[in-house]
A and B are shown apart, each in its own frame.
Chain A
Amino acid sequence: MRLAAVLHVLSLVLLLFAASMLVPLAFALGYQDGAWPAYAKAVGTTLLAAALLWGATHRAGRELQVRDGFLLVALVWTVLPAFATLPLLLQLPALTFTDAYFEAVSGLTASGATVLSGLDRLPPSLNIWRGFMIWLGGMGVIVLAVAILPLLGVGGSQLFKAETPTPMKDTKLTPRIAETAKGLWLVYFALTLACGLAYHWAGMNWLDAMMHAFTTMGLGGFSTHDASFAHWNSPRIEAVAIAFMLIAAINFATHFLAWHRRSLRAYRVDPEARAFLGVVLASVLGVAVYLVWDGVYADFGTALRFAAFNVVSIATTTGYANADFNLWPIFAPLWMLFLCSFASCSGSTGSGMKMIRAQILFKQVFRELLRIIHPRVYNPVKLGGQAVENNVVFAVLAYVFVYVSCIIVFTLLLTLSGADVVTAFSAAVASINNTGPGLAQVGPASTYAVLSDFQTWICSFAMLLGRLELFTLLVVITPAFWRK
């Protein structure tokens, strides 16, 4: 462990982060919303902190070992939100640090849970900053999931992919990580641009289109309006959102391959993408039928519209809403929360335990059943025509155990501190899956501001934990990690 080297790299990341605050600064100047001094101060403070850290550690060099990577990743995702609070705190004096940190974590983990209300009256540049955090977070997550975590050997999906030559043709899409990151970001950037243009075409103004393109591609779910997508009440805008949410929830490595080879074959051979689209499509239809049957909506067309938007939004862990699904019969929102815990693909900006782990688990169940009938059978779990090694299956099992345990612990902690069961459970699930809105008190029509400080910190931690695929963060807090 070389703490100094880790901190040195962190100082460089902070430096870049300070630069990213120039984006809202530019908007503040461009829109004349009077908020520019806040960003200037924030940039200054971050730069200063980065410089100090750099000065203190520059002798340590930048050479990191694999184990240092965990610490770096954990630090990046905990320290950056602290600095990201600066523009918020400087402009909203009523905001506590706890809530500001929650908002920043929610942004950088691309969750979309908010403690702010009166979004429509916020300075445009601040909304841009909130969206831009999500976009940055999504960018970080893609590279984290596709390029860095496999290197660290974390979790089932990464292990599986790192060892699998096909169908993904290796997660290392190009020989060097830097090249891979560049390629993925290019795809991410191009899709964001396309998304923004599509939103504008569908009827948003440029500012809203840009902000929502950021939060759609990051699968974050922050909006510039308290009413979220209900503000526009436009099926066309919703259709654009659905399309891009689905795209963003598919592995970016697959997008990259499809773009690189100029063929859609990559999607066809990606077993995760097929399962994801199938599950989401079936859920949309199922929920729509259920809503009509239960009498929430009179005609199927309306039910389909609301079911499609909200199911896709929650299943992809985005968190937009165009209806208060809190008022739907409880089965529908529970099913949506269930979906968000596994539907999105690994390597996407979505969160949760990822489709690939769900598939491995599901197949493992059938494998055990077959083994009861044929005791001597040799039937490995197979994904995309490739056998998954047993140690990967074990890793997935451990992951899911930790995942479920976390949900239970967070739910218990939230109820302990006074939340009702539905609020506690849904907040725990929505946080660890980086979804955003939960149910009851934290439903789509309200905000997380109702939670106590303790509960807010719990949710912040849950969001970080979920975003970093549990093990990355947990390993850093084990004693063995710090032993020399």
Chain B
Amino acid sequence: MKIIILGAGQVGATVAESLVSEQNDITVVDTDPARLRALQDRLDLRTVTGSAAHPSVLTEAGIDDADLLIAVTQSDETNLVACKLAARMFNVPRRIARIRATDLLDDPKVLGPDGFDVDLSICPEQVLTDYIFKLVEFPEALQVLDFAGGKVSLVAVRAYQGGPMVGRPVKEIRGHIPNIDTRIVAIFRRDGAVLPDGDTVIEDGDEVFCLAASDDIRQVMKELRRMDQPVQRVMIAGGGNIGMRLARALENAYSVRVIEHNKRRCEGLAAKLNRTLVLNGDATDEELLEQENIAQMDLFVAVTNDDENNIMSCLLAKKMGARRVVALINRRSYVDLLQSGQIDIAISPAQATIGKLLAHVRRGDMVAVHSLRRGAAEALEAVVHGDRDSCRVTGRRIEEIELPVGTAIGAVVRGGEVLMAHHDTRIEAEDHVIVFVTDKKTLPRVEKLFQVGARFL
């Protein structure tokens, strides 16, 4: 597939990186040659320097025969113009744009065919906000992902001594919570993945991935660890785009404080937020944290745009008594360094946000693609099409499907109903199937499974 990526910023670079490994022709356009050079040194792709909204630059990037345009520059306007040009002048079949301003999303006409002709809009800040919001709702979880429009949730929990299921084999969970249908799809133990069968014993410290109907998540988590007090007080370090969205989403249900060092930014925050306490200061300032009762905080979230700052303020907050600290960390090496250390959750923005985009790029009809464990594993929601002859999944029982090693079907959503997968569950056309992939190398084979292939006709 020929893909043009506009913007070589953080999102652009991550998208390029994850797509380059999947046999695509990728061209990246940016105004900054230095950034492009850095990208080109690392990855096998082509770069073009110039404004992403200029037809000449787009032509140079080979837009005439591109299959997909991903406009992820810093500017909403550039992205919109590029999409419109791509649709009207160059007939690019699919166009994805990063749109930050919610104003543009309010009326579907703006992005529709009569507007800027955008097929899919993504807003990384909003995705991250949702991600962290889930962590506030479920303070015991490491990550909570939604499938089938929020009906099914995949939750990652660290099993701790004290949970009734810890030290017991997986099959017993049915006996513990008889009226809840859940499935443990994977266990990560000391950085290795275990695809559990009924006899696998859950150990203390395991990272367990369970699928369950969204309403039942809390019950399932209860089996794996002692439950914490629900979150009441949240402190957010950094009042940027993410900090503000997060505060706005949380302020009505929780007591929220935001620390922001830029005075002008404080003004903007205070104007937009109603119940949040906006504090002017540095999140690594011990005195300020002390003054604002850091020891009483249930959650401390560092979301400034500076990795080091986020890490340091989180370490400080944890030391001073914050119950749980979450840091936003862009650099992958830092993330690996810190996870399961003193920082409870390290979020990689690029990994968290790329899923929605990937779903659009993959072969097969993917509704959602979620990157897990920093890109090592993936959870997919695929729609099954065709019939028994044209597709290798349709009409078969799960045990009949030739899934690659390290892959499991977790659940099937059929017409609004959630069915946990069993070996004899039969998959029908138009089902949404939730697949868990522990090894990314097998992804192409998984995708192929869900494609309606011509050779079966």
User: A residues touching B (Cβ–Cβ < 8 Å)?
Assistant: 374-380, 382, 385-387
Contact = CB atoms under 8 A, between A and B. Distances in A.
Contact of B267 (A374, A375, A378): A378
A376 B270 contact: no
B278 interface: yes
A375 B288 CA distance: 9
B271 A374 contact: no
Interface residues of B, number: 16
B291 A378 contact: no
B277 interface: yes
A377 B256 CA distance: 12
A377 B277 contact: yes
* Secondary structure type dominating chain A contacts: loop
Contacts of B263: 378
A385 B274 contact: yes
A385 B273 CA distance: 9
Contacts of A382: 270-271, 274
Residue among A377, A380, A382 with the highest chain B CB neighbour number at 10 A? A377
A202 B332 CA distance: 78
B277 A379 contact: yes
Contacts of B368: none
B265 to A, nearest CB: 10
Contact of A387 (B271, B277, B280, B292): B271
Contact of A378 (B270, B274, B292): B270
B278 to A, nearest CB: 4
Contacts of A379: 270, 277-278
A472 to B, nearest CB: 30
A464 B266 CA distance: 42
Given A378-B260, A379-B270, 15 more contacts: A374-B277, A374-B292, A377-B279, A377-B280, A378-B270, A378-B278, A378-B279, A379-B278, A380-B270, A380-B271, A382-B274, A385-B274, A386-B271, A387-B267, A387-B270
A376 B292 CA distance: 9
A478 to B, nearest CB: 33
Contacts of A374: 277, 279, 291-292
A380 B276 CA distance: 12
Nearest to B282: A376
A377 B278 contact: yes
B271 A378 contact: no
11 contacts: A374-B277, A374-B279, A376-B281, A377-B277, A377-B279, A378-B269, A378-B279, A378-B280, A380-B270, A386-B271, A387-B267
Contacts of A386: 271
Residue among A375, A376, A382 with the highest chain B CB neighbour number at 10 A? A376
Contacts of B269: 378
Interface in B304-342: none
Contacts of A387: 267, 270-271
Nearest to A386: B271
Contact of A380 (B260, B267, B277): B267
A23 to B, nearest CB: 48
Contacts of B280: 376-378
A380 B291 CA distance: 20
A423 B102 CA distance: 59
Interface in B271-303: 271, 274, 277-281, 288, 291-292
A214 to B, nearest CB: 42
Nearest to A385: B274
Contacts of A385: 274
B286 to A, nearest CB: 13
Contacts of B291: 374-376
A377 B266 CA distance: 9
A376 B260 CA distance: 10
Contacts of B270: 378-380, 382, 387
Contacts of B277: 374, 377, 379
A385 B248 CA distance: 13
B400 to A, nearest CB: 59
A266 B395 CA distance: 58
Contacts of A378: 260, 263, 266-267, 269-270, 278-280
Contacts of B274: 382, 385
Interface in B124-145: none
Contacts of A380: 267, 270-271
A250 to B, nearest CB: 24
Contacts of B267: 378, 380, 387
A387 B269 CA distance: 10
A301 B384 CA distance: 71
Nearest to B269: A378
A451 B277 CA distance: 54
A67 B218 CA distance: 68
B264 to A, nearest CB: 11
Nearest to B292: A374
The 10 closest A-B pairs by CB, nearest first: A387-B271, A378-B266, A378-B278, A378-B280, A376-B279, A376-B281, A380-B270, A378-B270, A376-B280, A377-B279
A376 B293 CA distance: 13
